[in-house]
Each structure stands twice: as C-alpha cells, then as structure tokens.
Amino acid sequence: MPLDTGPDPSSLSNFQDAAVTHSHIELDVDFETRVLSGFVEHTAVVRTDGVAELALDTSQLTIEEITVNGSAARYRVSDPHPVLGSRLAVRLPAGVRAGEVVAVAVRYSAPPGATAVQWLPPEQTAGKRHPYLFTQCQAIHARSILPCQDAPAAKFTYTAAVRVPRQLRALMSAVPVEGEGRDDGDGGTADLRHVAPRPGTKVYRFRQGVPISSYLLALAVGNLESRQLGPISAVWSEPEMVEAGASEFAETPQFLEAAVELAGPYLWGRYDLLLLPPSFPYGGMENPCLTFVTPALLAGDRSMTKTVAHEIAHSWTGNLVTNSDWQHLWLNEGLTRFLERKILGRLYGEEMYQLQASIGALILKETVQKEFGEGHPLTALVPDLSGGVDPDAALSQIPYEKGFYFAASGPGVSHYLQELVGGAAAFQPFFRAYLQRFQSQPLGSEDFRAFFCDHFQANEVIAQIDWQAWLYSPGMPPVTNRYDESLAAGAYALATRWHTADVLGIGGGGPTAASPADIEGWSSTQLIAFTDKLGELRAMQPLHPSITRRLDELYGLDVRRNSELRTSWYQLCINAGDDAILPHVEAFLQEQGRARYLRKLYRALRRSRSSRARQAALDIFQHQRAAYHPIAVRLVAADLGLATADT
Ligand SMILES: CC/C=C\C/C=C\CC(O)/C=C/C=C/C=C\[C@@H](O)CCCC(=O)O
Ligand SMILES: [Zn+2]
C-alpha cells in the first residue's frame, strides 16, 4: 500500500492543510517506570478550506484522550509503519475555513522504549548516583515523545512544563522560565495542570519563542550543574565533568561573536552547552538554546571544539533556515560546515579554514569511494528517501562534505560556487541574503538553485553549473576543488614518505631517518591530516603491520586524547592487521558511544585481515551494546550483519 506521506516522505502528518504553530507541552518524567506521561495542546491554523482532520505523527504512543476546542474529539490511529510510526488523525469541526484557529489537546504516554529517549541508570553516568535521561529527536524521533507534525517544514513555538524527581534538573531546547524548579508542595500553578501529581517532584518551565521544527525539541534530566562561559552562554553537565567542560569549551563566546559577524544577529536568547554522558550517539546536536555534545570532545587541548563552532553555526543554517525535508539535509549540514569553517578561519586564520577544507575533501573521497562505492544512490547530494527509508540509516558525511564542497572554499584557489561567482566578496552577500530570504520558509534544493540563479543572474559564469550532476548524481562531484595546503603540506608529505617506504618494502623501519621530531609541534588537526592522507594513499593496499608498529613507537598517536585522531589511527592499524592495537581499540569502544566512531571501527574490525580482529568486533559489541544508545546499536548491528532480532 502506498504511504500516505504528503510532501515530506518521512512524515504522515498533514501540515500543508492544517499547521500547528504553537504547542504547550507538559511532561512527567518517571525514572521508576521509565514512562513519560504527557499532555500537549497544539494551536493549529487551518490552511485548506474544509480539511477534515489534523494528522499528527506518533510512534508507540498510548493515546488517552483528545479534545478539539475543549470538547471530546473523534480520532483514529493507523497501523504502525516500522520506520514512520502511526498517523494519528483527529477529526476537526466540519466546514473549517482557511485561517481558522483550532486547539487540539492530547493526553498520552510514551513507553520506556520511546526511540527519542535514552534512560540511563546511575552506573552509566559520571556520578554513578542518579539516573539520567536525554532525548535525540533528529531526524524523526520527536513523534515517539509527543504526537506532532514531525516534519522539518512544520515549525512551531513552544512552552513546556516538565516534572522530575526533586534532586534532578530538567533542561530543554528553550529558555528556562524564571522561578522554575518549584516543589510539588507549592500546589496550584507550580505543578502540571493536566498530568496527575506525584510526590517528591519539581516542575521546570521553558519557553521557545522562535519557531522550530520538531527535530529540535530536546529534553535532558539529570544531576546537572552549570559554569558560565560568557554573557549568554554556560556549560551544563554532571558536577564530575563540568569543570572539564568549562575549560574545553572556553572559546564558545568567541565562536559566537565570529558567527554573528558572519551570519547576522543571534535570535535565540541563550547559547548553552550540555555535556552528556558517553552514550550520546553524535558529536553534537544543535538543539536551540542548548547544544548537546558528546564527552568525546574532551580532548584536553580544545582540539575538537570545531564541533561547537558547527553547532553554533546551525543557529542560522538549519535552525533558522531549514531543509524542507530530510532529502535536502545538505542545505542544513553542508552550509553549516561552510559557516563552521568560516568561524574557525576568523579565529585561527585562513590557513586553518583551508586545512579543514582539505581534510574534508579526504573524508568525502573516503565516504564516496570506500564507505559506499561511486554508484551508490546515497552518495547523491539529494538522495531519494521515499517509501519509508529510515533517515538514520541514510546519514553519512555526504551532506556535510559534498555539501561544503559544492558551496564554497577560500580565496585564491579553484573550487566551487563561491569561487565561480567571484570569491567571498560576492558569495558573502549572497549568503546573508539567502539567510534573510529563507528564515521563515523551509526550502529544498530547487529553491536554493532558483534563489542562487536569481541572485547571480547577471553573472554569465553560472551557466557552467551542472546542477543535475551536483544535486542528483551519485559519486564524486563533477568538479575537483583545489585547496591551499600550506598547513596540510607537511602532513601530506610525511604520509607520502611512509607510504613510499612501505611500498618499497623498506620494512619495519619506515622512511629513512624517521623520528619523533617529524611531528614535533604539530596540532592534532595536522596529525589527522597525516593519518587521513595515509589512509587515502593506502586505500587499496593496507600498510604492513610492522609499519604501524613503527609509527606507534615513533609518534605515539593515541597518546593525544583527540578522538577523531584516535579513530583515524586505529583504522589504519586495524586495516594493517596489526593486532597489538586491539586492546586500545577495545578501550576506546568502551569509553565513548559516538556512532560515527563506533561504525568506522566496528566495520574496520569486521573487514580486517586478522581473524582476532574480526572476532573482537563481535565480542566487544556483545559486551558493550547495553551501554550504547539504541540508534548506535541499530546501526552497528546492521554493519556487523547481525539480524534485527539480535539488536
Ligand atoms: C541526505 C542524508 C539522508 C538522510 C539523513 C537525514 C537525517 C539524518 C538523521 O537521521 C539524523 C541525524 C542526526 C544528527 C545529529 C547530529 C549530527 O550533526 C551529527 C553527525 C554525526 C557526528 O558527527 O557525530
Ligand atoms: Zn550539523
């Protein structure tokens, strides 16, 4: 049966006919039962005369009661689709007219297995004394914690009241309302109005006044403290990690200032960070007002804070100017990578921008050629997600790095759109106009193309752009960019020396006169350029294990705590069949749960020429899976060829 998805292939809602513009949410968080008891009142504006129902996305929710304009309403819940969940169709008053406003209120509960939620027992937290909960709604998990129009094109403001055990604190992707956190004993408005009271609890209140898409809803509950970072920024975490977070992310206010200079006023009121427990499955998540980050960013030397620059950049690209559906994710992620690298360039110089862009090009090549293969449909900038494709399973570095590669690079070198139209001087005004134009209207790739062509209509050179190939063809981009490699040159030359030494069979010694001095004073990013380049050069024929041992002896690459570097280095060793690295890989797979690292390493282990490594993939995963996030478990299990029932 065809899926009733409307304009967004990942949503069963009908936001085009009746759009929710504001939601008031009440949630009770019960760590005993792991159930979220909820109430939501949606304010919906009718867009199509006579529309019969408001269709919402849900996943595994138990619906208890629904009212429309205060009166009991009729509703239907469709049979669940394994990826998209169930359509909740609520009957609207007969003959509603476009522009009419309707209040649709739902009382419901979300079960312990709600896909947006990870409930952590105390043992999985830094403090080991209190439980913890966090959500991850991107791409289509918001529907598992509330009935909603779970489509990026459907935007709404929200207010929320969240009740939690008295000793814990709740945070959301919103600004906390003053006077929050009152005990249930206060009665009256201090408690939830629509969810039955519970002793020993507190209520926290929030307001998000900028319209957001549902994937940006976020909640965290735990034993949380904060440290101020700047005028509108603090880092939140468990007390055991909060000082480390404050030190690692101290540059946040400078990143924010640079972003404002590049992209315009910051509209969200606050920019806070929440440093999560290790099972958080992503590097960062751009939840408005409160970016979520993995503790795998705590390198100790601020060498991984580009993720914070990235999440700050989303405050414009993604959170304000939003892809119309997940097929156009490159508009969120590619342009955010562009702004992220611009921010880094402002703070650390143009060479840093170029170094990051050059590493990005290596990542793009690895993703297209090794991870997927040139002809794979998911290597297209705009993939087809119709038919109920799971967006989580489609996620890769393609929208980030191919999107960036398409958009822009720095001055003086040959690369795409930015250089084509005359460099940053011409591209920057376009970028600002683009942000202005699409702030209130989510867009797809063809909207981007039309706006770009209109903006640069006087520039004949744009006729050269092969939009069809860039947007829809799989494989490497139709144009090869060149980047300034001043900062990468040393790293690439060293990689070439090791590659040549191995090819010529110089053996365990590596290149003549190799020594720790080769990398003296190098930043972690330069070392990543080295390992990634070596990975590229040895894509067809892995290094000899004696070479990786010698590299380890001379450079001690995992002494640095940079997890990007460790992942890249471990991949080289695993591919080489170097079993001496296995205890280090195991320790790394135990200490953090970022899905990108897990997938790279488990896949490398599984493909290794060493039978010990192949077995280790299964053993470590079996041992660790309960500690990983369910999203990561599903993806790694699929990578390892384990049946869904095993997950
Ligand atoms: C064009 C690709 C097709 C579909 C993907 C659509 C949505 C992506 C999705 O399911 C979930 C994304 C969640 C992302 C959260 C944060 C990311 O920016 C982190 C990326 C991975 C990492 O660096 O850890
Ligand atoms: Zn992003």
- Best probe residue, ligand 1, of 136, 337, 395 (max atoms within 8 Å of C-beta): 395
Spatial CB neighbours of 525, under 8 Å, sequence gap ≥ 6: 303, 352, 355, 356, 359, 487
**109 neighbors 61 (Cβ within 8 angstroms):** yes
pLDDT band at 179 (very low <50, low <70, confident <90, very high): low
Position 500 in a domain: yes
**Do 508 and 640 reside in the same domain of the chain?**
yes
Name residues with Cβ closer than 5 Å to ligand 2, which is an ion: 333, 336
pLDDT in tens, 224-246: 999 999 999 999 999 999 999 99
**233 neighbors 256 (Cβ within 8 angstroms):** yes
Helix and strand counts by DSSP (H, E) for the chain: 19, 21
Residues 149-180, buried b or exposed e (16+ Cβ, 10 A)? bbbbbbbbbbbbbbbbbeebbbbbbbbbeeeb
Share of the chain above pLDDT 90, in %: 86
Round to whole Å and give the CA distance between 454 and 493. 43
- Ligand 1 proximity of 328 Cβ (cutoff 6 Å): no
User: The tokens of 491 are what?
Assistant: 């790293």
Of 537, 563, 536, residue with least CA distance to 360: 536
**Do 441 and 340 reside in the same domain of the chain?**
yes
Ligand with an atom nearest the CA of residue 139: 1
User: The tokens of 614 are what?
Assistant: 């192949």
For residue 461, the model assigns a pLDDT of: 85
Nearest ligand 1 atom, CA 327: 1
**Do 141 and 173 reside in the same domain of the chain?**
yes
Share of the chain above pLDDT 70, in %: 95
The domain of 175 spans 18-112+131-215
The amino acid present at 628, given as its one-letter code, is Y
* Residue owning the nearest CA to atom 15 of ligand 1: 285
Position 352 in a domain: yes
344-366 average pLDDT score: 95
**315 neighbors 291 (Cβ within 8 angstroms):** no
For residue 302, the model assigns a pLDDT of: 96
Question: Residue 193 forms beta bridges with which residues?
Answer: none
Q: Which residues are catalytic?
A: 311, 400
Query: In the block, which residue shows the tokens 């190098």?
Result: 522
Would you give the distance in Å from CA 294 to the centre of its chain? Answer: 11
**Do 397 and 519 reside in the same domain of the chain?**
no
Position 288 in a domain: no
- Ligand 1 proximity of 138 Cβ (cutoff 6 Å): yes
- Ligand 1 proximity of 139 Cβ (cutoff 6 Å): yes
Q: Is the pLDDT of residue 525 over 50?
A: yes
Q: What is the 3-state secondary structure (H, E, C) of 285-308?
A: ECCCCEEEECHHHCCCCCCCCHHH
For residue 115, the model assigns a pLDDT of: 97
**What is the count of structural domains for the chain?**
3
Which CATH number is 451's domain given? 1.10.390.10
169-193 average pLDDT score: 73
pLDDT band at 558 (very low <50, low <70, confident <90, very high): confident
pLDDT band at 188 (very low <50, low <70, confident <90, very high): very low
Position 269 in a domain: no
Position 257 in a domain: no
460 known ligand binder: no
**Do 460 and 565 reside in the same domain of the chain?**
no
Q: Give the pTM.
A: 0.96
Domain-ending residue, one of 194, 215, 236: 215
Q: What angle do CA 274, 277, 279 make, to 5 degrees?
A: 120
For residue 164, the model assigns a pLDDT of: 97
Which CATH number is 599's domain given? 1.25.40.320
**Do 49 and 179 reside in the same domain of the chain?**
yes
Q: Is the pLDDT of residue 185 over 80?
A: no
544 known ligand binder: no
Round to whole Å and give the CA distance between 221 and 126. 14
Residues 47-81, buried b or exposed e (16+ Cβ, 10 A)? eeeebbbbbbbbbbbebeebebeeeebebebeeeb
310 known ligand binder: yes
**Do 373 and 495 reside in the same domain of the chain?**
no
**Do 419 and 328 reside in the same domain of the chain?**
yes
Of 278, 327, 287, 295, residue with least CA distance to 135: 287
**Do 443 and 413 reside in the same domain of the chain?**
yes
Position 264 in a domain: no
pLDDT band at 4 (very low <50, low <70, confident <90, very high): confident
- Best probe residue, ligand 1, of 84, 118, 138 (max atoms within 8 Å of C-beta): 138
**Do 323 and 461 reside in the same domain of the chain?**
yes
**Do 505 and 460 reside in the same domain of the chain?**
no
Please tell me whether residue 202 adopts helix, strand or coil conformation: strand
Position 290 in a domain: no
Round to whole Å and give the CA distance between 38 and 142. 13
End-to-end C-alpha distance for the chain, whole angstroms: 28
- Ligand 1 proximity of 310 Cβ (cutoff 6 Å): no
Phi, psi of 458, rounded to the nearest 5 degrees: -80, -10
Question: Residue 222 forms beta bridges with which residues?
Answer: 169
ipTM: 0.98
Round to whole Å and give the CA distance between 31 and 484. 53
Question: How far is CA 466 from each of CA 327, 332, 400, 449, 477, rounded to the nearest angstrom?
Answer: 19, 21, 19, 11, 10
Q: Is the pLDDT of residue 172 over 60?
A: yes
pLDDT band at 481 (very low <50, low <70, confident <90, very high): confident
**Do 564 and 498 reside in the same domain of the chain?**
yes
For residue 643, the model assigns a pLDDT of: 67
pLDDT in tens, 405-428: 998 644 344 457 888 888 888 889
Q: Is the pLDDT of residue 593 over 50?
A: yes
**383 neighbors 394 (Cβ within 8 angstroms):** yes
Tell me the average pLDDT of the chain: 94
Position 173 in a domain: yes
Domain-ending residue, one of 215, 239, 256: 215
- Ligand 1 proximity of 125 Cβ (cutoff 6 Å): no
Round to whole Å and give the CA distance between 279 and 595. 9
pLDDT in tens, 113-155: 999 999 999 999 999 999 999 999 999 999 999 999 999 999 9
Q: Is the pLDDT of residue 106 over 60?
A: yes
- For residue 332, the surrounding DSSP H or E stretch is helix 329-348
